[in-house]
Structure formats: C-alpha cells, structure tokens
Amino acid sequence: MKSIFALLVVITLNTFLFAQEKSVAITMDDLFSAYNNIDIEKIEVASDSLLTSITKHGVPVTVFVVEKSFSENGDTDRKLLEYNKWINNPLVTVGNHTYSHQNYAKTELSLFEEDILRGETITKELLKKTNKKLKYFRFPYNSTGKDSISRAEIYDFLDHRGYTITPFTIESIDYVYDALYCNFIKSGNTKEADRIIEKYIDFTADLFQYFEDLSKELFGRNINHIFLCHTNRLNSACFEKLITRLKDKGYNFITLDEALKDTMYKSKDYYAGQYGFSWIYRWIENSNERKMLMRKEPYSKDILQQYENLK
C-alpha cells in the first residue's frame, strides 16, 4: 500500500513538473495586413472565427497590429469595428508592429522611429476605453537593424517610449502555408486546402519538438516558449486544431507577460544583424555553433517548392 502511495506521489509530481515545464505564449503578427487581398466580408469572417477559437479554448494571445492596414484598400470603419473586438477581448493583448511594416535594416533611424509612433495612434485611442496599456513592440521581419549600433539606437528609443521588445523562439513559416492554403481556397480545391492545414500542423509540432530538444541541450531545460504566427486565413481556419495538437504535446498556454518572466529572456543577445531568426539562436555566443544548429532545423522542402512555384 505504502509503495502504491509513493508511486502515486511520483506520478502526480511528474505530471505537475511536466505541465510546469511546457509553456508557450502565442503571438500573432500583422493584424489586419495578413489577410491578403480579400474583401472586407471575408476579413470579418476570418477574424471572427479566430476570436471565437481563442475564446473557446481560453488561450491568451498577443497580436501585433499594422495600423496602415486599416486605411489601405478602404473599409476603414468596418475594420476598426473588427479591431475593437480584438481590443475588448480579455484574452487579447495588442502590440505595436509599426505603421507600415518596414524593415528596420533597410530604413533610416528617424523614419523608422516615425513609423513606430504613427503605428500607435489608433491603438492608443481605442485602449483608453479599456484597462489595457500599449506595452509590446515587435520588429517587422524580426529585423533589429543592420548592425549593433543601429540596434542599440532603436532599443534606446523603444525603452524611452516604455516599450518591451517582443522576441520569439518558435515559428513555422505559416505565411508560406497560408499562401498555398489561400490559393487552393481561391480555386475551390478544399481537399488540397485541408491537406495544407494538416501539413502545417504536423510541421509546427515538429518544430516545437526541435526547439524543445534544443532548449534542453543548450540550457538544460525547456524554457517558456514564444510562438510566432500570423492573423491570416490559415490560422483562422485551423487555430483550434493547432491548439489541440500543442495541448496533446503537453503545452499549456500562458500570456506573453508570464513567458517573459523566464530568466532566459534576460540573456545576452549575441546577434546583431538583419535576419529574423529565433532568439534561441541569438543566445548562442559562438556564431559557427549557431549556424551549425540552424542548418539542423527541420524544413519543409516540398512546401517551399510549391510556394516558389506560386510566384
């Protein structure tokens, strides 16, 4: 009896520790610019569907907004009504992603700063009616500048404006899968569109496994992850499936605030350059080791080939 009790304690403890060590914050970029070339009715349907899935599963998400997309191609009022739903959803945190999604490595500092300030106009106004604050910033393309000097300059600017820079650890080229998915939907081929969804979810699960293993190898434990994807039609269609798969892998969903409490996010970022790769690689001092590990990352050859053929 005693040994059964001891065994139960071990199992319970393991379950607790297991649940504790697998946490991820979901971040979604490019609201509403990721809904490429579709009319306002379709944007509303896709955006509502994503919000419904978020609410149903109680998953906290941080969305990064591109304010230019509100006025681009018209229907501004309807887009703002839709944006208000995101602002007012208690599970949603909104962040600044600049006004026009420029690549900082290819933009002058003063122009980029202007784009950051312009990118907070509508959001700050709408947030006044809530108890939320605009705190997070994410670089378009995760490009923190062309070198260490330009990075230091913009980090200083963002710090003075009270922004927290948002890193990520895992992404699974959802924009590539989205382009293929939208193409099949457009041509009425729902069977192939569904196949793309399955492949995207499998690939995402593989990348979670890869970064989980890499995290254990490099830091001795699985850190709090930050997943980056986009508010596109693909994720609007399969968010529930994606969340279910990650739950099956043992993940629980935490806010960006909670994820960033992991001490790894205070680590030195050794990479200064234009490329937008995972922060896990940026915490590696030796650039040869970094490159060697990046080459080991799973990639989806057939999907990338199909994507190339689309262009």
Give me the amino acid identity at 230.
Answer: H
Q: Is the CB of residue 303 less than 8 Å from the CB of residue 192?
A: no
Minimum CB distance to Zn ion smaller for 64 or for 251: 64
Task: Quote the least distance from Cβ 114 to Zn ion, whole Å.
Answer: 18
Q: Residues 30-69 vs Zn ion: string with x where CB under 5 A?
A: x---------------------------------------
Tell me the closest approach of the beta carbon of residue 122 to Zn ion, in angstroms.
17
d(CA 153, CA 272): 12
CB-nearer residue toward Zn ion: 140 or 145: 140
**From CA 37, how far away is CA 59, in angstroms rounded?**
28
For Zn ion, give the closer residue by CB, 22 or 97: 97
Q: Which of residues 113-152 bind Zn ion (CB under 5 A)?
A: 140
Number of C-alpha atoms within 13 angstroms, CB side, residue 75? 16
Nearer to Zn ion, 96 or 224 (CB): 96
Looking at residues 164 to 223 of the shown chain, list those that interact with Zn ion (rule: CB under 5 A): none
Q: Which residue is nearest to Zn ion (CB)?
A: 29
Rounded Cα distance between 28 and 229, Å, is 5
Spatial distance between the Cα atoms of 176 and 2, rounded to a whole number of angstroms: 55
Binding mask 80-109 for Zn ion (x = CB under 5 A): ------------------------------
> For residues 180 and 303, is the Cβ–Cβ distance under 8 A?
yes
For residue 150, what is the enclosing H or E element? helix 148-160
Nearer Cβ to Zn ion, position 184 or 277?
277
29 touches Zn ion (CB under 5 A): yes
| Gap between the Cα atoms of 265 and 260, Å rounded | 6
Provide the token pair at 177. Answer: 């899968």
Stretch of 28-36, 121-129, 206-214, 271-279 lying at the interface with Zn ion (CB under 5 A): 28-36
Q: Can you give the binding site for Zn ion, defined by CB under 5 A? A: 29-30, 140
